Amino acid sequence: MSDDIMEMTIEEDYPEFREAVAKICEGFPGQYWRDLEDQPPEGSYPTEFVNALTESGFLGALIPEEFGGSGLPIRAGAVILEAIHENGCTAAACHAQMYTMGTVLRHGTDDQKNEYLPKIASGELRLQAFAVTEPTTGSDTTQLKTKAERKGNGYVVNGQKVWTSRAAHSDLMLLLARTTPVEECTKRTDGLSCFLIDLREAQGNGCDIKPLDAMINHNTTEVFFDNLQIPGSSLIGEEGKGFRYILDGMNAERVLIAAESLGDGKFFIKKGVNYANERVVFDKPIGHNQGIQFPLAKAWAELQGADIMARKAATMFDAGEPCGAEANMAKYLAAKAAWEAAEACLTTHGGFGFAREYDVERKWREARLYRTAPISENMILAYIGQNVLGMPRSY
Amino acid sequence: MSDSEAKLILDDEDFPELRNEVRKLCEKYPAEYWLALEDEPPESSYPTEFVQELTDAGYLAALIPEEYGGSGLSLRAGSVILETVCEMGCQGSACHAQMYTMGTVLRHGSDEQKKHYLPKIATGELRLQAFGVTEPTTGSDTTQLQTKAERDGNGYVINGQKVWISRAGHSDVMLLLARTTPKEECEKRTDGVSVFLVDMREAKKDGMEIKPIDAMINHNTTEIFFDNVHIPGDALIGEEGKGFRYILDGMNAERCLVSAESIGNARFLLNKAIKYANERVVFDRPIGQNQGIQFPIADAYIKLQSSDLMVRKATAMFEAGLSCGAEANCGKYLSSEALWACAEACFTTHGGFAFAREYDVERKWREARLSRNAPISPNMIMNFIGQHVLGMPRSY
């Protein structure tokens, strides 16, 4: 632990970023997102929105300046994503472009970093697909079955991934695959490796991407590997250490996703309060009723609490301090608070909450996701119970 | 108060033959049928084949007396039909109104009206499944509705607007609640509105416009605009000005029926959750072995069982002619909350796959959310209980 006192800001930091993002989002109102939901998978990606964000440079926020990014702390990335969600838009279509590169940054060779990071920073190359989860192993990540077997100077990949979002809109994909059979590993966390796959080469040559029809427009897919050949230079870092590489990027991801939930929460509270003040039934604004007012107030209080935890996690991360507990708690609290706010907003709108044109139900459906992904509430509780509070492993 | 005793059957499956017959019918309409309908535009998203089959089997005539061609079954039997439809993953909301909206005609219509309409509703020749009450500006404040029915010669002319009128695109007649005496001339808030049976086929040619509402669930719901729509004098049901009372006395039966649907939907979701919890193996054992998965399911089951009893109690009281507003509202409230608990437990249990449409969890999860809003909101039920059952001041 450092001897320095750790301080964090409690004000609305990076106001220039918040304003700039709000301006971009103004160009993408509810109708834009609703229309996308009516498209088949091929046409449902928010290309124009992602382009606008790419051009703004915000997606390169976390890439060091030496590689063409802005070299900002994770807190800045969090503020950008929070602002996107607060303004009614959805960052899921492009947030990975911000942080998936982290594995290359921390564990790639100089060659790999020089080759890829500048192009990711400019948006010339999209690295926004992260192939980890598998249909049969779910939360038991280390037991994943997709194999990458040595063949000459490269590898041959066989297996299947699920919930690989944005794979159809990415040029590169980070893949976690098994390089040492489970039986030959001493620890559960050994034997996995990270690869940077060039999807432009791989698709149709042993890598097939199938859109998944889901409750929300998440541009998510199943990916099938059938004797996909990849060059040896695809390997990131050392064979067998892939799980550890992925892990150290998890905290960053948790902090960033928590920020999206916080933005959602603010969106819902604002919409709910506006409607509660405007909608007059029984001769008074419905917000006059505690049955409407209190759930919104409660959700706001939960949101404020989650916000402080999220700032703490970001501050510790940027200071290089271990922050697994804080990052997980931030993710947990923010997703829960956002859901409470979503529920209060939907309830406040009465029947109109169900009408698509009111733009409540879309974000409500999306808010449900973060209680499950990228890590579920139960898995976070298991982590806290075991690794923070010292109770036995329960699963 | 009647002398008859209210008795409820405690067997988990009352009316077992009825349940089994309905199950057999519903088996022909699996998840794929309902998922495909959700992909259709409003004009083609109605489960026509399913509703037709239910109609042909006579289930939607369950509550119409035999003298009018119905089955003359009890409210509980009607509830069991709807509960089973939902338990099988089908939609009760697409056709439940055909079962009970006629109740207002049955209780308050003239002999002529009953003889003219009820037999055709029983066979399905006439669809009466649109109930025009709610308006966009007045919401839960029903008595303040603004759609007017003004005397015009022997008939009336209608002007105004309704919202959330489900199945209007699939109904031949509609029960309409409209104001016949201006508010200022009424002594009580509950006076001055009247009930009409509107022939929609005629009205559509004369100023009535139906617009589908694009909603989060496939509820075939609409907005209806009335622009000088003429209706004959014999469209009036009962007496002018007493419409709100007529509607009210049908509410308890409706609450029981809709609550039974919630119970059925809850069972569908709960059964799915248990199955997946037992089959899905992660970290080397069924996920149901984890209390984090198991306890929410068990908790939801407890809520389901207790709300089911409340609904049965309300139904039994209704059948015995006992005043049952409190029980019917409690049953609605509890069954909706139990349904949501089952929906959430099922959704969480399925992890990521809850989001995949083909797993058919998210469809009924979205629909479950509606039950906590319509046809009456939990807050309005709590107002009723707080004020009329527990004697606290009116809070709104």
Whether residues A135 and A120 share a domain: the answer is no
Shortest CA gap B89–chain A (Å): 17
Amino acid identity, position A124:
E
Residue-wise pLDDT for B4-20, tens only, equals: 678 888 899 999 999 99
| Whether complex ipTM tops 0.85 | yes
In this prediction, residue B24 carries a pLDDT of 98
The CATH number covering residue A362 comes to: 1.20.140.10
Q: What is the DSSP letter of A172?
A: E
In this prediction, residues A226-246 reach a mean pLDDT of: 97
Among A350, A357, A373, the residue with its CB nearest the CB of B139 is: A350
Distance between CA B301 and CA B295 in Å, rounded? 10
**Within a domain: A4:** no
pLDDT tens figures, A146-202: 999 999 999 999 999 999 999 999 999 999 999 999 999 999 899 999 999 999 999
Q: Encode A104-117 in three state secondary structure.
A: HHHHCCHHHHHHHH
Q: What is the pLDDT of residue B7?
A: 83
Quote the pLDDT of residue B8: 85
Tell which residue, A231, A287, A311, A296, has the closest CA to residue A265: A296
- Kindly report, residue by residue over A140-151, the tens digit of the pLDDT: 999 999 999 999
pLDDT digits (tens, 9 = 90+) for B116-156: 999 999 999 999 999 999 999 999 999 999 999 999 999 99
pLDDT of the residue at A181: 95
- Selected for mutation to probe chain B from A218, A345, A366, A378 (highest B CB count within 10 Å) is A378
Contacting residues of A for B163, CB less than 8 Å apart: 351
Banded pLDDT at B257 (limits 50, 70, 90) = very high
Q: Is residue A174 domain-shared with residue A291, that is, in the same domain?
A: no
Note the pLDDT of residue B1: 44
Same domain assignment for residues A120 and A169: no
Determine the distance in angstroms separating the CA of A141 from the nearest CA of chain B, rounded to an integer: 9
- Structural domains in chain A (count): 3
Q: What is the pLDDT of residue B4?
A: 62
Residue A154 lies in a domain: yes
Phi/psi for A216 (5° steps) reads: -130, 160
- Residue at B334: amino acid letter: L
Query: What CATH number does domain B245-389 carry, 1.20.140.10, 3.40.50.720, 1.20.1440.120, 3.40.50.300?
Result: 1.20.140.10
Residues of B in contact with A382 (CB under 8 A): 292
Residue-wise pLDDT tens digits, B308-346: 999 999 999 999 999 999 999 999 999 999 999 999 999
Q: What is the pTM of this model?
A: 0.94
CA distances from A293 to A182, A282, A341, B91, B160 (A): 54, 16, 12, 33, 31
Contact B126, B247 (CB under 8 A): no
**Are A254 and A164 within one domain?**
no
Handedness of CA A25, A31, A36, A37 (dihedral sign): positive
- From chain A, the residues in CB contact with B371 under 8 A are none
Q: B64 or A188: whose pLDDT is higher?
A: B64
Work out the end-to-end distance of chain B between its first and last CA atoms, rounded to an integer number of angstroms: 30
Across chain B, what does the average pLDDT equal? Answer: 96
**pLDDT value at position B5?**
76
Which of A198, A216, A240 terminates a domain? The answer is A240
Residue B71 near residue B145, CB atoms below 8 Å: no
Q: Give contacts of A138 with chain B, Cβ < 8 Å.
A: 280, 282, 351-352
In this prediction, residue B95 has a pLDDT band, given cuts at 50, 70 and 90, of confident
Model confidence at B42, pLDDT cuts 50, 70, 90, reads confident
Q: Tell me, what's the pLDDT at A222?
A: 97
Q: Are residues A265 and A355 in the same domain?
A: yes
Looking at the structure, do residues A59 and A109 belong to the same domain, yes or no?
Answer: yes
- A212 with A272, same domain: the answer is no
Of the residues B144, B146, B283, B360, the best mutation for testing chain A's interface (the one with the most A CB atoms within 10 Å of its CB) is B283
pLDDT band at A392 (very low <50, low <70, confident <90, very high): very high
For residue B2, pLDDT beyond 80: no
- Give A3's pLDDT tier (boundaries 50, 70, 90): low
Asked whether A339 and B347 are in contact (CB, 8 A), the reply is no
| pLDDT exceeds 60 at position B369 | yes
Measured CA to CA, the distance from residue B146 to residue B159 in angstroms comes to: 9
* Among A74, A100, A126, residue at a domain's last position: A126
A23–chain B nearest CA distance, Å: 28
Are B193 and B178 contacting, i.e. CB atoms less than 8 angstroms apart? yes
Please give the sequence-ordered ranges of beta strands (E in DSSP) within B221-358, or none if there are none: 221-231, 236-237, 281-282, 285-286
Measured CA to CA, the distance from residue A98 to residue A118 in angstroms comes to 13
Residue with tokens 């699939």: B170
Q: Determine how many CB atoms are found less than 10 A away from the CB of residue B385.
A: 16
Of the partner residues B134, B213, B379, the one whose CB lies closest to the CB of residue A355:
B213
Out of A240, A270, A297, pick the residue that ends a domain.
Answer: A240
Structural domain contains residue A2: no
CATH 3.40.190.10 for domain B16-123, yes or no, is no
Mean pLDDT, chain A, rounded, equals 96
Higher pLDDT, B12 or A299: A299
For residue B381, give the amino acid letter.
I
Least confident of A4-8, A136-140, A382-386, B287-291: A4-8
- The residues with which B285 forms a beta bridge, in sequence order, are B282
CATH 2.40.110.10 in chain B is located at 128-241
Does some domain include residue A10?
no
- The residue among B45, B367, B373 with the most chain A CBs within 10 A of its CB, best to mutate, is B373
Contacts of B358 in chain A (CB under 8 A): 213
Give domain status of residue A9, yes or no: no
Do A255 and A208 reside in the same domain of the chain? no
Q: Does any domain span residue A395?
A: no
For chain B, where do the domains classified as CATH 1.10.540.10 start and end? 16-123
Residue A91 belongs to domain spanning: 15-126
Q: Quick: pLDDT tens for A197-227.
A: 999 999 999 999 999 999 999 999 999 999 9
Instruction: Kindly state whether residues A255 and A233 are assigned to the same domain.
Output: no
Question: Is domain B128-241 in CATH 1.25.40.10, yes or no?
Answer: no
Task: Judge whether A133 lies within some domain.
Answer: yes
Report, as an integer, the average pLDDT of A67-95: 97
Task: Answer whether B259's CB lies under 8 Å from B311's CB.
Answer: yes
CATH code (residue A226): 2.40.110.10
pLDDT at position A248 is 81
Spell out which residues of chain B touch residue A162, defining contact as CB-CB under 8 Å: 352
CA A323 to chain centre: 18
Q: How many CA atoms lie within 13 A of B125 on its CB side?
A: 9
Q: Where in chain B is the domain with CATH 1.20.140.10?
A: 245-389
The answer to whether residue A258 is domain-embedded is yes
**Between A3 and A278, where is the model more confident?**
A278
Interchain CB distance below 8 Å, B357 and A381: no
**Residue in the structure block whose two tokens are 């859901």:** A339
Cβ <8 Å between B164 and A212: no
φ/ψ of residue A392, rounded to 5: -65, 155
Helix intervals (H) in B213-324: 243-279, 291-319
